Structure 1
Amino acid sequence: MHRSDRMSEINRRALIGSLAAAPLVVAARAPSSPVATTRHGRVRGTIERNVLAFRGIRYGADAAPRRFQRALPPAPWQGIADATRYGPAAPQTRPEEQTSEDCLFLNVWTPALDKGRRPVMVYLHGGAHAHGSGSDPLYDGGNLVRRGDVVVVTLNHRLAALGYAYLAQLGGPAESGNAGNLDIILALQWVRDNIAGFGGDPARVMIFGQSGGGAKVVTLMAMAEARPLFHAAATMSGQHVTAAGPNHATARAQAWMTRAGAADVATLARLPIGQLVEAMAMTDPLEGKGEISFTSTLDHHVLTRHPFVPDAPREAAHIPLIIGNTHDETALWIEKTLRAGDTTWDNLPDRLARQMVKDLAPDHVIARYRQLYPDRTPGQILLAASTAGRSWPGHLIQAEERARIGAPTWMYQLDFPCPDAGGILGAFHTLDIPLVFDNVDAPGARTGVSTEARRLAGMMADAFIALARTGDPNGGALPRWPHFELTQRPTMIFDRDVRIEHDPRREERLLFAVAPYIKPGG
């Protein structure tokens, strides 16, 4: 996933800063506040429109003393810990909320502290493995709880170099290239051991995530240690097919270590965190653009295979999976260009070449698009072809490989357009988040609050809730959603008119199918 998918819309992140919390402290007694018991101690939350919310529950010990290593569970505490504010996010470049290496906190929304044994929906945030947190207002679980009688969990974990710098070949810990994923596993173990006390069912845990979070979902499906901890999954625009290879990951780690001014890993582990974060802003040494990229690594240790190469993991074939993408993914990254409206037939080839991942000649691609869509403008072809040549192929590979092993898989495409700028942005990357969470009123949603948007949000939320509850997204007002298979390629189109299409955008798919999909810098 390109690191620019960090969802850095300032208008919604501005709210988060006011929600960030210091490490847990003993809370003052409040008779109307709910108190839950975990294996490590009691926590006090709040009640928000009849939903019990617990923010900033510690699931891991301070990670700073074990930098680059597997984190440990928290030490037990006495008294009642405050769980009314979000915990700090992981250290990251350009943070928009409080950060700390002591960042292993999660948040729980639940209808009641009873023995309800409700489905549990655990969300993994996006941000290209480098940015973000579980505190975004779009991820508030309250509406899902009210709508579906479920328990919702979001979480923070180590990011960027602190979570994914592969130091094993440089004398560092063997697990360093996947420390962030091991944090997620620790959080899922917390869910297994504690969620019954929050009214949840540890035998019905669904993980879902968008963009980098979706990539983590499919990576966890390829990790033997993670698979027993969840029972259903959904990846939203998480088009990872491969993890980082160990040699490229080592090259990046070495470059970052040099930029940070450390001669060896032992020195790196002792440097001030600010010095490490400053070095993480360096240009990626393999791609020659953007920040240095750290992501899940094929380390032959905790991650022993790529998520979808050479195939879908048969060990995860029993886990039902939703695979989703948006019709106009790349509009998030080329929004300024689309708004400017200055793409012409002359500059289109160069602009498209900079956006495509698949290695096809841009003039060949443009000529075919002009045949397929003779009425489209250069800007519209830029959006369509960049999406089909960059962000869509990974999703197709995931669905195809799952179909080849007969694993229960459902594919969707979000076509519902953002109303901004007269709809020229289409359904861009991240637009499905507020719909799945039924949070179209939340800051930064960008879906609008029309009757159509609210209806669509309800249908998407209900489908995800159904997957968590039964292992099948079908039911309610949704048209029958068949398993994805290679003959007809049935895909749920989420739009004003929710429907099944067979092999949507077939000609675009075939155009790009002649070239392999290779993750940039992987």
Structure 2
Amino acid sequence: MHSVVKTSSGELRGRTADGVTAFLGVPYAAAPFGPRRFREPAPVTPWEGVRDALEHGPTAPAPGYPLPFSALLPVVRVPGEEILNVNVWTPDPTASGLPVMVWIHGGAFVNGSNSIPSYDGSAFARDGVVLVSVNYRLGAEGFLHLPDAPPNRGLLDQVAALRWVRDNIAAFGGDPDAVTVFGESAGGMSVGALLAMPSAAGLFHRAILQSGAGHHALSAATAAKVAGYMAEEVGVAPTVEGFAGVEPARLVAAQQALSAQSATTPDPARWREITLNSMVFEPVVDGEVLPVLPIEAVAAGASADVEVLVGSNRDEHRFFLVPTGAVDSVTDAAIAAVVGAYRLPAGAVEAYRAERPDTPDGLVLADLMSDWFFRIPAVRLAEAHGRAHVYEFDWTTPVLDGRLGSCHALEIGFVFDTLAAGSDLSGGAPPQALADAMHAAWVAFARTGDPGWPRYAEGRAVRRFGDVVETLTDPRGDLRELWAGVR
């Protein structure tokens, strides 16, 4: 069965099944190639007649994940240049006033798409929400900082998608004044950036940040250095004209090589700002599109009227250490080096060991890195905002003999209630009851701003989603206090 809606660019035909209508691959901005490459997103050229929106749209150029991560994270590639597209799932295009959720995918700003099966929005639509998922420019195409190009083009794409939602979502039954933007990993960091961006003000009313907050971004000076390194890699001038002659596939290969350099041969003079997180491409504090570091903007009152839900997974960094086997080669010296880089006080390692007695060194390191990159930024964002709700996901996957714990990206299938999509991270029989609880909390937050537990400011309340779903008071507070004054 098909349904037709009218948008500002023309009519769209979607497919209805099991009470949900999906419109896939809908362009929200023009294809960012040819003369539009490295430019701000441009309006879509209107079309005549009814356009089919029955298949996923083209995906942004991306390298994909290396082994062993490619066995754990799904990748969907769709060829074509119309990569600035959204998918929309709605319970009823003829309805009005339904809450809207806009999903921004993760992938370290170089991978990912809105077409991954676990991002299917049918369960949200089933529960009365219009779900929109966004594709945006990745890697060098979206974040290479050039003197004659608009900065943070990937973020500008997200703003363009939110403007499309504002102008068109009523045609799908949604309320443009009840928009929740949410994302995971780089998507969560993107949401943090959107909270700080003047151009995004008023385009959303609630925000959910999963495993990514507002602490990490490149300075303009470092981003300009990265552009210079990229120019050296492909043999062109570090300008739009220089890079315009480099095919997207070649640019992806070059950015891959550069990312490998930053991760494996860190030179303090060359990679000072990015050796700790190894992210060569990410949002840039450029002074205009992203005026300041997001956490600083939120602390100064940016998005004070936006309701926030933020959190992380208990064992985030195990995802990066366990599959490669690196977790088994961690030494005391390696832990000491990381603690020194993070500028933690004396006794920090002993405190982390005491939290989980008899834990191998590699998993102690994972706990430290999980807190630095994920948990502490989430807590600080909640503190800076003042009215945020905080959660922690703490269910152990049986994959890799349980050593992954509650690792990075594991919560997504529970949030979307897409466990049946067959995630290679969650194993054969993840608990549906946990998905029911977590998905319901996200829906409740989108509807009312209240996910079902007190705000963090009320006694440092944290909702833990695990074998037991419960509200805790300041879990691991002694470890949290170790990070006071540490950026």
TM (norm. structure 2) is 0.89
Give identity over the alignment, percent.
35
The corresponding residue for 1:335 is 322
Kindly provide the CA deviation profile for residues 44-97 of structure 1, in whole angstroms up to 9, marking residues without a partner as x: 121232211111011111111211111111011012212111111111223741
For residues 37-436 of structure 1, the aligned pairs below 5 Å read: 37-64=6-33, 65-94=35-64, 96=75, 97-146=77-126, 148-168=127-147, 172-173=148-149, 175=150, 177-265=151-239, 266-281=241-256, 282=258, 283-284=261-262, 285-286=270-271, 287=274, 293-309=280-296, 312-336=299-323, 342=328, 347-350=331-334, 353=337, 358-360=342-344, 364-403=347-386, 408-436=387-415
Are the structure 2 counterparts of residues 460 and 382 from structure 1 closer, same or farther at C-alpha, using a change threshold of 3 Å? same
Give the stretch that moved more between structures: 252-261 or 103-112: 252-261
Are the structure 2 counterparts of residues 71 and 389 from structure 1 closer, same or farther at C-alpha, using a change threshold of 3 Å? closer
The corresponding residue for 2:444 is 466
Query: What is the alpha-carbon distance in structure 1 between the residues aligned to residue 356 and residue 169 of structure 2?
Result: 51
Contact kept? 1:431, 1:445, Cα under 8 Å: no
The corresponding residue for 2:456 is 484
SS state at 2:464 partner: strand
Q: CA deviation at 1:307?
A: 0.5
The corresponding residue for 1:3 is none
Kindly provide the CA deviation profile for residues 103-140 of structure 1, in whole angstroms up to 9, marking residues without a partner as x: 11110001111133210110000011111111111100
Q: CA deviation at 1:354?
A: 5.4
Unaligned runs of 5+ in 1: 1-31, 475-480, 518-522
Contact kept? 1:41, 1:80, Cα under 8 Å: yes
Q: CA deviation at 1:364?
A: 4.4
Q: CA deviation at 1:291?
A: 7.2
Are the structure 2 counterparts of residues 512 and 337 from structure 1 closer, same or farther at C-alpha, using a change threshold of 3 Å? farther
Are the structure 2 counterparts of residues 373 and 430 from structure 1 closer, same or farther at C-alpha, using a change threshold of 3 Å? closer
Q: CA deviation at 1:343?
A: 5.4
Query: Which amino acid counterpart does residue 369 of structure 1 have in structure 2?
Result: Y
The number of equivalent residue pairs is 463
Give the stretch that moved more between structures: 118-127 or 502-511: 502-511
CA RMSD of aligned residues (A): 2.4
Unaligned runs of 5+ in 2: 66-74, 263-269
Contact kept? 1:434, 1:445, Cα under 8 Å: no
Query: What is the alpha-carbon distance in structure 2 between the residues aligned to residue 290 and residue 500 of structure 1?
Result: 31
Are the structure 2 counterparts of residues 62 and 379 from structure 1 closer, same or farther at C-alpha, using a change threshold of 3 Å? closer
Query: What is the alpha-carbon distance in structure 2 between the residues aligned to residue 291 and residue 422 of structure 1?
Result: 28
Query: Which amino acid counterpart does residue 379 of structure 2 have in structure 1?
Result: L
Are the structure 2 counterparts of residues 222 and 263 from structure 1 closer, same or farther at C-alpha, using a change threshold of 3 Å? same
Q: CA deviation at 1:397?
A: 1.6
The corresponding residue for 2:267 is none
Kindly provide the CA deviation profile for residues 471-491 of structure 1, in whole angstroms up to 9, marking residues without a partner as x: 2222xxxxxx11111x72111
Query: What is the alpha-carbon distance in structure 1 between the residues aligned to residue 433 and residue 229 of structure 2?
Result: 49
Q: CA deviation at 1:225?
A: 1.3
Query: What is the alpha-carbon distance in structure 1 between the residues aligned to residue 59 and residue 165 of structure 2?
Result: 20
SS state at 1:47 partner: strand
Whether 1:499 and 2:470 are equivalent positions in the alignment is: yes
Kindly provide the CA deviation profile for residues 243-293 of structure 1, in whole angstroms up to 9, marking residues without a partner as x: 211111111111112212212411222332223222212223514699761
TM (norm. structure 1) is 0.83
Query: Which amino acid counterpart does residue 133 of structure 1 have in structure 2?
Result: S
Query: What is the alpha-carbon distance in structure 2 between the residues aligned to residue 43 and residue 106 of structure 1?
Result: 13
Contact kept? 2:146, 2:238, Cα under 8 Å: no
Give the stretch that moved more between structures: 327-336 or 272-281: 272-281
Contact kept? 1:56, 1:84, Cα under 8 Å: yes
Are the structure 2 counterparts of residues 201 and 354 from structure 1 closer, same or farther at C-alpha, using a change threshold of 3 Å? same
Are the structure 2 counterparts of residues 181 and 369 from structure 1 closer, same or farther at C-alpha, using a change threshold of 3 Å? closer
Are the structure 2 counterparts of residues 163 and 78 from structure 1 closer, same or farther at C-alpha, using a change threshold of 3 Å? same
Contact kept? 2:97, 2:175, Cα under 8 Å: yes
SS state at 1:123 partner: strand
The corresponding residue for 2:479 is 508
The corresponding residue for 2:265 is none
Query: What is the alpha-carbon distance in structure 1 between the residues aligned to residue 405 and residue 231 of structure 2?
Result: 41
Contact kept? 1:211, 1:238, Cα under 8 Å: yes
